[in-house]
Amino acid sequence: MNIIEVVRSARGVLGGLAQQIPVVGAAAQRDRIDLDGKVVFITGAARGIGAEIARQAYAKGAYVSLVGRTMAPLEELAAQLGSRAAAFNADVSDFEALEKAAAATIAQFGGIDVVVANAGIAPPPDTLLTIDPKEFERGIDIDLMGQWRTIRATLPAVVENHGHVVVVSSIYAFFNGALNSPYAASKAAIEQLTRALRVELAPHGATAGVAYPGFVKTDMADSTFAIDHVDEARKALPGFVTDPIPVEQIGSAIIGGIERRSAKVASPWWVLPMLQARGVVTTVMDEFMIHNAGLSKAILRAEATHRDPS
């Protein structure tokens, strides 16, 4: 038996097993989501990826619930979009506020069909040796626990409507987290959280998926890349990895993933292949970064700023 026959045989066996597993079958048989008339609940909707998803969902006929900490930009975006958009105040560190935002969304629009758990922060780009412990824990609280709170607050409505949850992770789910460890740890944990969620939702006819953006042209990315040692570290890595993509590109990918109820959505082009080959890729990546003189210099420079702020 040659390699092609082995692959075909394996596919046949796995396909047969999948059909015999009720959970997999239930998830696979769900219809696509037509966003026209659906209610989409988005955290971190004031700017960046969240705002772009709101624009694209609205353009497809969805009602959009714009959720965030600061009302002014949310209300401005809602006004720009139109009558099918509304702004709700909630910090993802506050579970009760998220529950209230979910209840207000249901009261205004009649339910919640899709949740985009997107809100997040970029902790200081420091090493584990130098980062303020409070900043590390705040990063974990917002970027991981904030996603969990968002999911839990909206999940009853999603189950009721056989809807979909997409949790915005990052390439840092598998990318080495040097100078970005709380963010990377959170994004890896989010991936596992959503994998469990997808299985748990299947018996209810609902679905969940993970989005893996690469570097995206947003205000948060611009401000982070402007820091000297971050820019130095960025230049030590291959350009195709660190060149930001337009926010419209990742927004379109996530919207398409929602419509297909995809388990995984990624952009740019190279992310999914790396994701699929992560066992090899992560080992090679770590060794490359360990022996990268430019990156080592950036790490030492980052730590030096704590000893000598000048």
Q: Which residues are catalytic?
A: 183
236-270: buried (b, 16+ CB within 10 Å) or exposed (e) per residue?
Answer: bbeeebbebbebebbbebbbebbbebbebbbbbee
H helices within the chain, ranges in order? 3-20, 22-28, 48-59, 71-81, 95-109, 133-140, 146-160, 181-201, 219-225, 228-235, 239-242, 247-260, 271-276, 278-290, 293-307
Spatial CA neighbour of 71 closest among 96, 49, 91: 91
The phi, psi pair for 183, rounded to 5°, reads: -65, -45
Spatial distance between the Cα atoms of 168 and 266, rounded to a whole number of angstroms: 10
Rounded Cα distance between 5 and 169, Å, is 36
Instruction: Work out the burial of residue 50: count CB atoms within 10 Å of its CB; fewer than 13 is exposed, 13-18 middle, 19 or more buried.
Output: buried
Contact between residue 264 and residue 212 where contact means Cβ atoms under 8 Å apart: yes
- Torsion angle in degrees (nearest 10) through CA of 135, 136, 141, 146: 90
Nearest to 266 by CA among 309, 215, 214, 199: 214
Give CA torsion, residues 192, 194, 197, 198, to 10 deg: -110
- The letter for the amino acid at 82 is G
Position of tokens 């590390």? Answer: 136
Cα 64 from Cα 78, distance rounded (Å):
8
